[in-house]
Structure 1
Amino acid sequence: MIETDNRRAFRSAVSIRAFVHVQSKEAVVTPHLIGDQGAVSPRVYSVSAAAKVIGVSRSHLYEMKAAGLIRFGKLLGKTVVTASEIDRVISSIETDGEIS
Structure 2
Amino acid sequence: MRNRQPKKTTTHPHRMLRAVLRADRSGSAWAIGLALAIAPAMILFDPLRDMVWLVRIGVIGLALWLAALGVLMAWGLTRSVVRGEELPNDWWMSMIDPR
TM over 0.5: no
TM-score (norm: length of structure 1)? 0.27
Structure with higher Rg: it is 2
Q: Which structure has greater strand proportion?
A: 1
Q: Which structure has greater helix proportion?
A: 2
